[in-house]
Structure 1
Amino acid sequence: MTGLSPLQQLYEKYTTNVSGRLFLASIIVGIVAGIGAILFFAALTQFSHYVLHSAANYFPPEPAGEVSGHAPLGGAIRWWVLLLAPAIGGLLSGILVFTWAPEAAGHGTDGMIEAFHHKRGIIRKRVPIIKAISSIITIGSGGSAGREGPIAQIGAGFGSYLATVLKLTDDERRTLVLAGAAGGIGAIFRSPLGGALFTVEVLYKRDFEGKSLIPALVSSIVAYSIFASTFGWGLMFQIPPFVFNHPVELVFYALLGVVCAGVGLVYIKIFYGLRDRVFHGLRIPAQLKPAIGGLVVGLIGIAAPFVLASGYGYLQQAMNGELTVRFMLIAFLLKIFTTSFTISSGGSGGVFAPSLFIGGMLGGAFGQLCAELFPGLISNPAAFVPVGMGAFFAGAAKVPISAMIMVSEMTGGYKLLVPLMLSSSTAYLATGRGTLYEKQVNRMADSPSHLGDFTIDVLETMIVDQAFHPSDNVPRVRQDTPLSRVQALFSEREENYFPVIDQNDKIVGIISLRNVRAVLFDGDADHLLIAQDLMTPAVTVTPAESLKSALKKFIEFDYGQIPVVDYRDERKIIGMLTHEDVIESYNRQVEKRKLAF
């Protein structure tokens, strides 16, 4: 480094190793994420003012930390505006998204998760911009959605772009994607620690991306500081001085976790059920579907306007103990449907805010009912509101740690951390594998991004014969089999994949339940389609083949099951190897090696 200035020497020192590069890049990403959060929040606030305040004359309550300063003008609410605004917003958002960036549809965070696991952390440059604008239109016009999806896309998109410009590795790009998402979420929700934890936790159902935590923290701190310098350092919500000092209340908080888990599973079923069984089956351009969802939201909104947009102001009222049990029960039930119609139709926005609303209202109603049924045992029923917020999102999104931290940071209710821990853990365990985020994988070992970190050395020494369960009863589907017969076969069997064979019994393809479901609601498909039309490339393994090779085939073709054939006669199918078989065999071998040491 002879001849370099001290500043140049410092730069060279910090950029010649991975930790230094990521530290400096995380600061840059945090700056951009903070500025992006400011612009997004300001634009959303202004657009909401134009539509809901000025046009509809509807002034919903606001959380204590986000008072806009716009006072009600008096006069009646223009109900026809509340009816039409979500539909018009859905139409504009649908045209924008499905014309220029279809991957920006839905709740956004899944897009970031998918980019991490399956796309080397690469996010198209236009996606964050389209996502931000479409989400502003959707939420600002009354759509029931939140900010975490779009703001995560903004930060993650810049992190991906910066890594590409700096010619960083795929692993470093993935880290900056998480750092960018953490910066955006930590800033806009005033939750720097929770935002960082959320991005490393939401990737998996039962694991953490631990090595990305420090860059995520750095970015989140920087972004939060920039955002708070503009909009103030206060909390999003102001709550009464709740305290936990009655151990018997833990019984009720544990029950709240179970209730949140049950409602969360119903929410997930409705959310994706509407998408798969209603909107995917509509034979209209995708650009129009969010308008239909928005129209339903508007119809619900004219009867119950409190379920439009984020609803944070009503959460504030619930924490203050100002809402009745009846109101809160109606609110959380209707919020499930308005959120599902908004986002499942292709509308743009996040699921964090609606989940907080559903959980908070559910918790508030539960707390009041328990206080009435067991007088003297519940010190403050309104304390169940913030606990319900955290527990519901912890279970529905599989993020127990970040959910409780984010709620604590947003409310300042750290004295409720013990019941939050219990309710969130209970909800997380009780929901099982159910999750709002489809792109989550179970553990790091299940992610293609960690294929080389966890599996290659072990799986190279193992063969398929050690993992699969032999069977001479594997169904085969001839390539000319009608769709109706294929559907019947899937309904009769537990398998999700069948080999497709030709007239010579040679395997020519794979047909999956996923592909059959894609045409399930097409009335003409039964008469027009045969197995050959729906099959995907043929992939097989042999008993002597290494599990490393088998796993690569699972990843490359995105299959859940692969036929195992006799290497002496590939027409003879001797069983099916599942992706779970590979992972379970890997885990058993790892445990054996641990015991050997």
Structure 2
Amino acid sequence: MSASNTKNNTNISLKEHFAIVKHLTRWTLMVVPVAVAIGSMVALFLWLLTSAIHFRFDHKWLLFLLPVAGLVIHFIYQSVGKSSEKGNNLIMEEIHTAGGGIPKRMAPIIMITTVLTHLFGGSAGREGTAVQMGGSIAAMFGRWFKLEGLDMRMILTAGVAAGFGAVFGTPVTGAIFAMEVLTIGKIQYEALIPALIAAVIADLTVSAWHISHTQYHIAVLAKTPYFLDNFFHIDILLLGKVIIASAIFGLASYLFAGMVHEIKSICLKIFKSKWMIPVFGGLCIIAFTFINGKPDYLSLGVDAEYPGAITLPSAFNAGGADTWSWLWKTIYTSVTLATGFKGGEVTPLFYIGATLGNTLSSLFNAPVALFAALGFIAVFSGATNTPLACTFMGVELFGGEHVLLFAVACFTAYLFSGHSGIYSAQLIGVPKVFDAHFKDETSLTEANHRRGYMHQKLRKYLLLFSRKHDDKGKQNPHNQSD
């Protein structure tokens, strides 16, 4: 190689690394103030949320005002919320294709309405609120920095990462989630640096405000001989149980996403005035609580209202959940969110997964805490279509000892949840099933419309078949039994 070529290669290398340093410096300077602001807002939100939940614990009569709270939330969004009501989907749409922008008022409105939902007992989460606050604050800073195009999309992605990472104390998960959730089957790596910086700084900011997160623990599994242990370094029998359980976790994700969509659709058809929908939802939650005779499925389900209550942490212990706790939480949360209350879906999904894992552990004779942890992350993976982020969440929350099982659970649940999910604005980059039927679906909205159309056709076919069968029976009365 000539001296001139060597010199040119050196210059190119120096330019490349100078560009890398410039890129890192620019985005660090922009993202740090954004992340500090988001982390501070998340800290305030978590403090208000905990205060509201414990206030309701001491004033149980507040549950009876849930329909009124739903009415207030409805009119807040009708009067000042406007496009903010689209929530997480609005942020995802803005990242995909810039449109009308994300309003500044989204952050305070979603925080206030989420606290109202939990104060009066609505079964919702907190991730949606944190993500929307993150997106709104990031958009505001983006306008101040005069960002456009790819830069604006990157700072919005960083805002999502900061909100998610800060609210759960999982910064790596937050960064990967923000990049993975946008498009099924693809990860938007262009936002890697801003997302990771934002998630870490926001999480540190929450800690600086002395806000702590719930700690979980999986007990060390006893060292016992297992099937074919001379040939494999993992318990093949346990792995088989995990795969079967994870398929069930994926179906639970599918059920949850489908119920929210169907309940919302049915309510819009039944009620001519939209303000009646949250009132109906609040009345349903009150009725469900009377049927159960206990308040365990209200609100987040993390803190215990009374000794022996079924909570997310209790699901990690034997006997810490009822057989159908996961289904009741699915019903409560589906009704709450589908009828207009605010918050998010992720913490209820954790609860659904952990309690379902608790139930399956007794059926499969498997470790309770391990299966609760697998359900915790796998149901979330199936509902959000983010298996990689959820695998990292397992490591951040429960340690890395069982990372193989975490990955198996998350990717299996992701597959079995089908083309469904809680975020209708998700695009389908790579379909889960390589079949001609799915090739034209470009988003979960299209998938839901097609699924609804197919369900209608199936119902019509079954009705037609039933009528033909009845007519045939009438024409041949001798074929009928006495």
TM-score bracket, shorter-length normalisation: 0.7 to 0.9
Structure holding more strand per residue: 1
Q: Does 1:391 align with 2:375?
A: no
Structure 1's 292 and 102: CA in aligned 2 closer, same or farther, altered over 3 A?
Answer: farther
* Aligned residue among 67, 77, 101 for 1:87: 67
Q: CA deviation at 1:246?
A: 2.9
Structure 1 position 300 matched with structure 2 position 300? no
Q: Amino acid of the residue matched to residue 393 of structure 2? A: M
Whole-angstrom CA distance in 2 between matches of 1:348 and 1:311? 16
Among all aligned residue pairs of Structure 1 and Structure 2, give the percentage whose two residues are the same amino acid. Answer: 25
The one-letter amino acid paired with 2:424 is E
| C-alpha spacing 1:102/1:280, structure 2 compared with 1 (3 Å) | farther
For the residue of structure 1 that corresponds to 2:402, the secondary structure is: helix
Measure, in 1, the Cα distance between the counterparts of 2:352 and 2:204: 29
Q: Is the 8 A contact 1:105 1:346 kept in 2?
A: no
Does structure 2 retain, via aligned residues, the 8 Å contact 1:85–1:298?
no
Q: How does 1:260-339 map to 2 (within 5 A)?
A: 260-284=249-273, 286-302=274-290, 303=292, 304-313=294-303, 314-324=311-321, 327=322, 329-339=323-333
Query: Secondary structure at the residue paired with 1:208?
Result: coil
Give the letter for the 2:390 counterpart.
A
Change in 2 beyond 3 A, CA 1:405/1:309: same
The Cα shift of 1:94 comes to 1.5
Q: Secondary structure at the match of 2:172?
A: helix
- How far apart, CA to CA, are the structure 2 residues paired with 1:274 and 1:102? 22
**Are the aligned partners of 2:47 and 2:211 in contact in 1 as well (CA < 8 Å)?**
no
Please report how far the alpha carbon of residue 355 of structure 1 lies from its aligned counterpart in structure 2 after TM superposition. Answer: 0.8
Secondary structure of the 1:156 match is: helix
Equivalence for 2:353 = 359
RMSD: 2.8
CA displacement at 1:131 relative to structure 2: 1.2
Q: If each structure's helix is expressed as a fraction of its own residues, which one has the higher value?
A: 2
Measure how far apart 1:231 and its partner are.
Answer: 2.7
Alignment equivalent of 1:417, drawn from 403, 413, 418: 403
Deviation larger for 110-119 or 356-365: 110-119
Q: Does 1:187 align with 2:175?
A: no
Return the alpha-carbon distance in structure 1 between the equivalents of residues 130 and 150 of structure 2: 22
Are 1:161 and 2:158 counterparts? no
Q: How many angstroms does 1:232 deviate by?
A: 5.2
In structure 2, distance between residues paired with 1:364 and 1:110: 32
Matches within 5 A, 1:161-560: 161-231=140-210, 236-243=214-221, 246-284=235-273, 286-302=274-290, 303=292, 304-313=294-303, 314-324=311-321, 327=322, 329-371=323-365, 378=366, 380-410=367-397, 412-443=398-429
Instruction: Name which of 28, 36, 41 aligns with 1:23.
Output: 28
Summarize deviations over 1:484-523 as a string: whole Å, max 9, x none: xxxxxxxxxxx99xxxxxxxxxxxxxxxx89x99xx9xxx
Give the deviation of 1:121 after TM superposition: 8.4
CA deviation digits over 1:73-103, x for unaligned, max 9? Answer: xxxxxxx543x14323222222212221143
2:48 counterpart residue number = 43
Mean Cα displacement is larger for which, 190-199 or 121-130?
121-130
Mapped to 1, the partners of 2:209 and 2:352 lie a distance apart of 30
Q: Give the drift of 1:28.
A: 1.2
Asked if structure 1 preserves the Cα contact closer than 8 Å seen for 2:103 and 2:136, the reply is: yes
Supply the distance in 2 between the matched residues of 1:385 and 1:186 (Cα, whole angstroms): 21
Q: Could you state the TM-score of these two structures normalised by the residue count of structure 2?
A: 0.77
Give unpaired runs (5+ residues) of structure 1.
1-12, 57-79, 372-377, 446-494, 497-512, 521-597
Given the superposition, is the C-alpha separation of residues 279 and 165 from structure 1 closer, same or farther in structure 2, using an over 3 Å criterion?
Answer: same
How far residue 111 of structure 1 moved from its aligned partner, in angstroms, is: 2.6
Partner Cα distance (2:359, 2:319) in 1: 12
* Cα 1:279/1:308, change in 2 over 3 Å: farther
**Aligned-pair distance for 1:432?**
2.4
Q: What is the deviation of 1:176?
A: 0.9
Q: CA deviation at 1:15?
A: 13
Q: 1:294 to 1:168 in 2, by over 3 A?
A: same
**Contact 2:84–2:102 (Cα < 8 Å) also in 1:** no
- RCO comparison, higher one (Cα < 8 Å, 6+): 2
In the alignment, the residues of structure 2 paired with residue 381 and residue 247 of structure 1 have an alpha-carbon distance, to the nearest angstrom, of: 18
CA 15–207 in structure 1, closer or farther in 2 if over 3 Å, else same: closer
The more displaced of 298-307 and 267-276 is 298-307
Q: Distance between the aligned counterparts of 1:263 and 1:247, measured in 2?
A: 24
Deviation at 1:242, TM superposition (A): 3.6
* 2:57 match: 53
Structure 1 position 395, deviation (Å): 1.2
What amino acid is the match of 2:339? S
For the Cα contact (< 8 Å) 1:315–1:361, is it kept in 2? yes
Distance in 1, Cα, partners of 2:69 & 2:373? 31
Could you tell me whether the CA contact under 8 Å between 2:62 and 2:119 is conserved in 1?
Answer: no
SS in 2 for 1:305: coil
CA offsets 1:118-172 (integer angstroms, 9 cap, x no match): 3358211111211111111112321111111111111111111111111112211
**Structure 2: gaps spanning 5 or more residues:** 1-17, 223-233, 304-310, 432-439, 442-448, 457-482
| One-letter amino acid of the counterpart of residue 91, structure 1 | L
Contact 1:356–1:389 (CA under 8 A) maintained in structure 2: yes
Counterpart amino acid of 1:39?
L
| d(CA) in 2 for partners of 1:261, 1:240 | 22
- Answer whether contact 1:120 1:173 (CA < 8 A) is retained: no
- Equivalent pair of 2:43/2:211 in contact (CA under 8 Å): no
Asked if the contact 1:104/1:348 (under 8 Å) is kept, the reply is no
Amino acid at match of 1:265: Y
Structure exhibiting the larger radius of gyration computed from Cα positions:
1
SS at match of 2:401: helix
Query: What is the CA–CA distance in structure 2 between the aligned matches of 1:425 and 1:298, rounded to whole Å?
Result: 36
Check conservation: 1:120, 1:171, Cα contact below 8 A. Answer: no
Q: In structure 2, which of residues 117, 123, 128 is the aligned counterpart of residue 138 of structure 1?
A: 117
1:270-327 Cα shifts (integer Å, max 9, x gaps)? 110001122354111x344223212211221232411111112411111132425xx1
